[in-house]
Structure 1
Amino acid sequence: MTSTLKKLLLGEQGLLVIFAIALVLVSVFVPNFLSTRNVIGLLQAVVTVGLVACSMMLCLATRDFDLSVGSTVAFTGMMAVMVTNATGSIPLGILGAIAAGAAVGMVNGIIIAKIGINALITTLATMQLVRGFGLIISDGRAVGVKEPAFYNIALSNVFGIPTPIIVLAVAFLVFGIVLNRTVFGRNTLAIGGNPDAARLAGVKVVRTRVTIFAIQGVMAAIAGVLLASRITSGQPNAATGLELSAISACVLGGVSLAGGRATMTGVMVGVMILGIAENVMNLLNIQAFYQYVVRGVILLFAVLLDNLRTSSGIRR
């Protein structure tokens, strides 16, 4: 394989080509895939993964990752419902969820970036802690919504487009601008490329990493609120395995596990590939047991792609 062909296949353009081919194939061979109802359902199904993947992209770009996001999504969704039920105010419920998510992210960031504990151990611990807190405060049961207007967060639409899809589109746009057009984004990639060099260049490495984890917590909270509204309750066991889906989407989209490389377009494509794979399996009535196998294969494929990109020296 020539270097030019390898760059094309492993780079962002190659990912777009693969995505386009896959889209054409499923459109032709899978019944009802292109129906308006299915497309809207597909986009709504990827909202949670997509929102979390936006901030996971920044974590991975700095050589970090966060395994606690699934637990944080469940916990903050419950917080939104419980605060709303207690106060009768949906805005207060949303703010409570965001505050809880930011707090979890800050704790992760301080322990990892400031104290220097490994991200795997830290976020594995907070994953268990946050999930445990959610189960304790809910007594292990779903928390029902007392304010019917809370459902409108996920059920409302603008010009026929569901609000959660609009929120995801705005998140993609904002994070794309942050990554490519701001000093913060350039510093994020610099830290992942070489933390010591970034520090010597004047980048506030610790502060930036803590900020990224706080952003991760906030995005998990937004995803948690939308998920709780969509499923009409706060579920302590919701979003199990979400962290692996978000990491898979990012790595599929060209974000390097070694840090220093990320593109928002690639992450968007990665999110859609995961969403299409799950949607097609549901349309074809493939049993859930086999869906786990497919997710595992996709994750392995994503890691293989990252390894090939790294060994080939493809940066963007």
Structure 2
Amino acid sequence: MVLLLIIAISFFGVLRGDVFLNPINIQNMMVASPEIGVLAVAMALAMLTGGIDLSLVAIANFTAITVSTVYSAVAANDPSQAEALAPLIILLGILVGVAGGAVNAFLISTVGIAPILATLATMQMYNGIAIVWTGGSTLYGAPEVLSALGTSTVATIPMLFIVFVLIAVLVGAMLSKTPFGKSIMLQGANVVAAKYSGIRSASVLYGTYLTTGLLGSFAGLLILARNPTASADYGASYVLLVIVIAVLGGTNPAGGYATVTGVVLATLVLQVVQSGFTSLRLSAYEYAIAQGVILIAVMVFDQVRIKRWRRKVPDTQTRAVAVADHAPADERA
């Protein structure tokens, strides 16, 4: 990912350095990437368990709509009171996201519905509620604290990007340093081994989808901070994009392996490519083609690397373990 990032920056820098390497354009890339990046980190968490969360963008929009609606309603009567209540309004939006994650967790863990079907259903449900709520129109208004977050910088680095990095660091630390993070990885790597290790699958899934709902709400707040508007159809293309970023960042779709660092780098790579295509005045459709080409190239490279490594393993038993590590979750089970 680091190599891809360097290649992308160098390529567009050579072609349109006057536009692409402009400090304002670089700042714009750092402002645009956090909301996508947080959603991609959440998607990687869901994939880590062998599942998926298609409702993340809907949860983010639901959070933004909740905060914008409540804030605007209070500000219509007393703007100063709306600012005083801003922390509580933001907390309400976060709780909405966690509640959305709780519904996903219940359907997946307790009822036993496949994650792709459960989250597809909740995505439709959350989107439908949001459309009925807003009447299909765009809402305007956000607490000043969010607007300030969206416009402030630290040493020319946008605060939104700093928040994204902090969230990624915390999630990475959670995965690598806590028993819960280890349980998530073992759950996705081998369900049977997790069971015999004393790990409660239901608890892990509940914790995972509550966390993805929480991250979805954070993404909604970042969306509102970047542009103080909210709508039910914002980021319609984000669902597929965050899946691409998660896989591109090294997440195993079958579960068991993911790196937050890889997801962050993949987010930056695709943001650089998108900005580079814009500087070259290429269309969004051509950018979509580039996304697919990059993803295929990385997956092909990864498969070639794995096959070469397997051929270097002389011991049959060790090779069998290596193959199992990269097999789908159901086969490993």
TM-score range for the pair, normalised by the shorter chain length = 0.7 to 0.9
> Which of residues 245, 251, 255 is equivalent to 2:247?
251
| TM norm structure 1 | 0.88
Distance 2:68 2:200 in 1: 37
In structure 1, how many angstroms separate the alpha carbons of the residues matched to 2:179 and 2:30? Answer: 31
Matches within 5 A, 1:116-155: 116-145=112-141, 150-155=146-151
Partner SS, residue 100 of structure 2: helix
Mapped contact 2:142–2:229 kept (Cα < 8 A): no
What amino acid maps onto 1:234 in structure 2? A
Tell me the residue number matched to 2:11.
25
Unaligned runs of 5+ in 1: 1-14
Instruction: Summarize the Cα distance change of 1:80–1:212 in structure 2 as closer, same or farther, 3 Å threshold.
Output: same
**Correspondence for 1:5:** none
1:27 partner amino acid: G
Tell me which amino acid in the other structure corresponds to 2:256.
Answer: G
User: Given that residues 90 and 150 in structure 1 are in contact (C-alpha distance below 8 angstroms), is that contact kept between their aligned partners in structure 2?
Assistant: no
On the 8 A contact 1:252/1:305 being kept in 2, the answer is no
Distance (Å, rounded) in 1 between the aligned partners of 2:5 and 2:206: 34
- Letter of the aligned partner of 1:84 in structure 2? Y
The residue aligned with 1:60 is: 47
Instruction: Say which of 204, 207, 219 aligns to 1:208.
Output: 204
CA RMSD after TM alignment: 2.2
CA contact (8 A) 2:273 2:287 kept: no
Q: Deviations over 1:76-115 (max 9, x none)?
A: 1111111222331321221111111101111101111221
What SS does structure 1 have at the residue aligned with 2:20? coil
Q: CA deviation at 1:204?
A: 2.1
Quote the Cα distance in structure 2 between the aligned partners of 1:281 and 1:100.
36
CA positional deviation for 1:199? 1.4
Q: Could you tell me the percent identity over the aligned residues?
A: 28
Distance 1:198-1:169 versus aligned 2 partners, 3 A rule: same
The verdict on how the C-alpha distance between 1:140 and 1:309 changes in structure 2, with shifts beyond 3 A counting, is farther
1:165–1:78 CA distance, 2 compared to 1 (3 A):
same
Q: Quick one: which amino acid aligns to residue 266 of structure 1?
A: G
Aligned residue for 1:7? none
Partner residue, 1:175: 171
* TM-aligned CA distance change 1:144 to 1:203, over 3 Å: same
- Residues 270 and 233 from structure 1, CA distance in 2 versus in 1: closer, same or farther, beyond 3 angstroms? same
1:298/1:71 CA distance change after superposition, 3 Å: farther
- Which runs of 5 or more residues in structure 2 are unaligned? 75-81, 311-321, 327-333
- Counting only pairs closer than 5 Å after superposition, residues 291-306 of structure 1 correspond to structure 2 as 291-301=287-297, 304=300
Of the three residues 222, 225, 229, the one matched with 2:225 is 229
The structure-2 alpha-carbon separation of the partners of 1:310 and 1:78, relative to structure 1 and needing over 3 Å to count, comes to: farther
State whether residues 31 and 226 of structure 2, in contact with CA within 8 Å, keep that contact through their aligned partners in structure 1: no
The 1-side partners of 2:290 and 2:3 are apart by 21
Query: Based on CA coordinates, which of the two structures has the bigger radius of gyration?
Result: 2
- 1:288-309: CA deviations, max 9, x gaps? 2333333344454555566657
Sort the Cα spacing of 1:161 and 1:57 in 2 relative to 1 into closer, same or farther, 3 A.
same
Instruction: Supply the distance in 2 between the matched residues of 1:309 and 1:113 (Cα, whole angstroms).
Output: 35
TM-score normalised by structure 2 residue count: 0.84
Deviations 1:11-70 (A, max 9, x none): xxxx33333333322222232322221111111111111111222221111101111111
